[in-house]
């Protein structure tokens, strides 16, 4: 499966809601001055910088070089490292010691090896350490994905091609956390229909977040594909009088390492 490639500049300009909605995790984590905190899937570093401003010693990790280039330029006070969080050895090597807490916003659903991720987090947390995560959950972007698959069918491509995403249920993720030594403090699905930026349609969302389902569309049929995606998205109610939206369902959980 090809890795997701990011347009980091557009991510910050047209899809900044991803970071903004994740700010609630800062309250859940309740960082204290002097704590060591790891931000997994830190993107362009905004939440890592917010934690550093509270007096925490923060390390941000992400697998995407373009995201990290912006993060380092805009937030030189934070240490960033390019790491696949599914690789526990690499995560430990980048950490420089144990952490008091781990935060991750809108990142874990890009990591199909969920058990490896949770195991790696457990290895870098101190006993009693806190974990606060928001990620895509069960039924996340179900209608959006249906529209993208309809677009694929319209241009003669396999509509059933697997996506890059993993959207667990609360029960599955709670069981996973417990297997790796965590006590779950809270876990819930949150329905969050999310308006897209002006000028961004469902096809535009797909171009940013759905590389696995979009990258094989031939250039000469891209306009036809996008029209089919947006046409189907309209029938599914993703275009309202207020504009285009994405049918997000987020899984938010808070756990401590026992």
Q: Encode pLDDT of 220-250 as tens digits.
A: 999 999 999 999 999 999 999 999 999 999 9
DSSP 221: G
Q: Mean pLDDT throughout 59-79?
A: 95
Q: Each residue of 111-129: b (16+ CB within 10 Å) or e?
A: beebebbbbbbbbbbeeeb
In this structure, the chain runs to a length of: 258
Q: Is pLDDT at 50 greater than 80 in this prediction?
A: yes
Q: Mean pLDDT throughout 32-36?
A: 97
> Predicted confidence band at 23 (pLDDT cuts at 50, 70, 90)?
confident
Q: Is pLDDT at 9 greater than 90 in this prediction?
A: no
pLDDT at residue 2 in the model: 45
- Contact criterion met (CB below 8 Å) for 22 and 106: yes
Q: Mean pLDDT throughout 77-88?
A: 96
- Contact criterion met (CB below 8 Å) for 37 and 96: no
Closest CA to 175 of 184, 166, 188, 167: 184
Q: What is the pLDDT of residues 139-169, one digit of tens each?
A: 999 999 999 999 999 999 999 999 999 999 9
CA dihedral over 68, 248, 193, 221, signed as positive or negative:
positive
Q: What is the pLDDT of residues 178-225, one digit of tens each?
A: 999 999 999 999 999 999 999 999 999 999 999 899 999 999 999 999
What is the homologous superfamily of the domain 8-138+164-195+248-257 according to CATH? Vaccinia Virus protein VP39 (3.40.50.150)
Specify which residues 188 forms β-bridges with: 252
Average confidence score pLDDT of the chain: 93
Q: Give me the residue spans of the domains in the chain.
A: 8-138+164-195+248-257
pLDDT at residue 130 in the model: 98
């Amino acid at each position: 499966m090809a890795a997701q490639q990011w347009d980091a500049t557009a991510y910050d300009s047209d899809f900044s809601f991803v970071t903004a909605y994740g700010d609630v995790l800062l309250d859940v984590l309740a960082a204290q001055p002097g704590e060591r905190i790891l931000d997994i899937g830190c993107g362009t570093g905004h939440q890592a910088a917010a934690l550093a401003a509270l007096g925490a010693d923060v390390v941000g990790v992400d697998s995407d070089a373009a995201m990290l280039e912006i993060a380092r330029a805009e937030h030189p006070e934070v240490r960033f490292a390019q790491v696949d969080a599914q690789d526990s050895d690499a995560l430990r090597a980048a950490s420089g010691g144990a952490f008091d807490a781990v935060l991750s916003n809108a990142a874990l659903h890009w990591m199909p090896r969920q058990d490896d991720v949770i195991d790696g987090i457990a290895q870098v947390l101190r006993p009693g350490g806190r974990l606060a995560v928001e990620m895509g959950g069960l039924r996340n972007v179900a209608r959006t994905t249906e529209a993208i698959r309809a677009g694929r069918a319209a241009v003669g491509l396999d509509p059933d091609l697997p996506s890059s995403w993993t959207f667990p249920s609360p029960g599955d993720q709670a069981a996973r956390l417990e297997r790796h030594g965590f006590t779950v403090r809270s876990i819930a699905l949150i329905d969050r229909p999310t308006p897209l930026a002006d000028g961004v349609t469902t096809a535009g969302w797909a171009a940013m977040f759905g590389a696995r389902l979009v990258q094989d569309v031939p250039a000469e049929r891209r306009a036809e594909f996008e029209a089919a995606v947006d046409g189907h998205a309209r029938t599914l109610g993703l275009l309202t009088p207020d504009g285009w939206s994405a049918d997000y369902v987020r899984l938010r959980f808070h756990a401590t390492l026992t």
